[in-house]
Structure 1
């Protein structure tokens, strides 16, 4: 009998659900997604989450056992209460996402346990399990997309903190930048280097375009403003990673998310910024690599909350 986990990934652009087996494989026919955009109402967001959960569970094989449901959400979250307040989704402040998913799931599969954690931690779990972080005990997973998030595995265990928000690297402040952030900080890496913020900066410099895809094309065509925008983001990400490695002595950082693929050069820019810490070999040793999981990483990580639950500590 196949043992499966329901995985739910809620972010600032979309919510997705799917079924994942004990080897970290997402069943292709079980993947469903709906938009979750920042302009959505709470009712629209609830309908989107319930819709993808029901759609995914409708594909549950008759001979399979559903072990549980893992939910990864953009942060901040409050893991004890099971609530979420995604920075880029203003309609949800203290929304009880864990209880909401539990209600929907148990209408179909009674008694199913549901675990909620921050999406960045899920990414770290996924990379550590079946991605670029296999074989490493000290890993940071990062997403560079609509926002910037991250999570930590230290000495083989997930680092969560008392609220579940440990590893939220998107809100590390980096030097030489004064961009205001929605969190209230100044110079947070998310406010500088996320896809939308990089596009905004380029537009402010006179670039004509409106999306990350258009910026990538402009970069490939040699547009100097696009190059400056990507270089600025790469430096900011590199500085944030160097700070995180100084704090936690990480061995490997795996970066995914749509904007991380704007150009392969982005990774060279990140590594160059880290290399400036020349006197700290324990920082410059860190390997920074692309995610090995493509766009399946968030779902695999949410499923890891069930399949790899032994890596989680009680909060």
Structure 2
């Protein structure tokens, strides 16, 4: 028995067949493209769901798991898009469960990434956007609509810029890859080879280029504020960072750990550990699969 796992990100869609032992087959990843609905259909047909116990979907948000709709900030073509129903039409008769992509990343790390001993895990995806998810006592905490843990839209700078979500000074306006690059360019950074992206910015930061290092310090400070706010509310002990920007490794993690230690006040906040994903780009797929696999179903909002 298997699960078809689907990971809907801001710039790419991925899918795979996952078995209860964690083995993964037919993993495929494609750009979102100009027609995300057509991309989804093509991806599902390519990977297939024959013999699947269910389909687990992790999607960028915001979303409504009760209605089965998604409105990813970075996919303008999808606003209140009926993603769960669209997948049901592609794989008729197979149960479908939906959760946030960062929620699935957190659940995947808890299940397959070596964090099963954690009582309170916060997973954060730092990529085109910034998302988050919570696993509390082994159960994903989704909230009534499925948006619990959406850390990217915690306000960290009340005098900051306008976020695509409509609010001011969200974490995403500072810590997402595109936001980091925009800030660095506005402050004098020139990308090597004319490729101004987060990977080039990380490479320059690792080489000690001052404005690139400041971009990562600024991101670390903002992430630390959001992490500690969440930790104070949910008594978090374990934070896992994933997404493309996390590929910078210690260029991000070293200043982030220092910022967390500096900003932490109450004693229980000092026990926080911050690590990078062990599962890389597969964490969200493992978490999506865990929503529907027998014995690994941890979602209180499983669909049918």
| 1:145 maps onto 2:141 in alignment | no
Q: Is residue 132–residue 289 contact of structure 1 (8 Å, CA) maintained in 2?
A: no
Q: What displacement does 1:220 show?
A: 2.3
Deviation readout 1:180-205 (Å, 9 max, x if unpaired): 21112221111101111000000000
Aligned twin of 2:43: 52
Separation in structure 2 between the aligned mates of residue 277 and residue 219 of structure 1, nearest angstrom: 23
Deviation readout 1:137-171 (Å, 9 max, x if unpaired): 21111111111111001122211111110010111
Structure 1 runs, 4 residues or longer, greater than 4 Å off: none
Q: 5 Å matches for 1:245-256?
A: 245-256=231-242
Separation in structure 2 between the aligned mates of residue 283 and residue 177 of structure 1, nearest angstrom: 26
Aligned twin of 1:311: 298
Unaligned regions of 5+ residues in structure 2, if any? none
Query: Compared with structure 1, are the counterparts of its residues 176 and 219 closer, same or farther at alpha carbon in structure 2 (3 Å cutoff)?
Result: farther
Deviation readout 1:41-100 (Å, 9 max, x if unpaired): xxx111110111111117x5xxxx311100110000011110000011111100001010
Separation in structure 2 between the aligned mates of residue 310 and residue 258 of structure 1, nearest angstrom: 27
Q: What displacement does 1:175 show?
A: 4.2
TM norm structure 1: 0.90
* Equivalent position to 2:145, from 152, 156, 163: 163
* Equivalent position to 1:11, from 5, 9, 29: 9
Separation in structure 2 between the aligned mates of residue 279 and residue 264 of structure 1, nearest angstrom: 24
Q: What displacement does 1:24 show?
A: 2.1
Query: Compared with structure 1, are the counterparts of its residues 258 and 278 closer, same or farther at alpha carbon in structure 2 (3 Å cutoff)?
Result: closer
TM norm structure 2: 0.93
Q: Is residue 72–residue 118 contact of structure 1 (8 Å, CA) maintained in 2?
A: yes
Separation in structure 1 between the aligned mates of residue 254 and residue 6 of structure 2, nearest angstrom: 32
Separation in structure 2 between the aligned mates of residue 47 and residue 176 of structure 1, nearest angstrom: 39
Separation in structure 2 between the aligned mates of residue 133 and residue 309 of structure 1, nearest angstrom: 15
Separation in structure 2 between the aligned mates of residue 72 and residue 167 of structure 1, nearest angstrom: 14
SS, match of residue 70 in structure 1: strand
* Equivalent position to 1:228, from 189, 194, 214: 214
Aligned twin of 1:101: 87
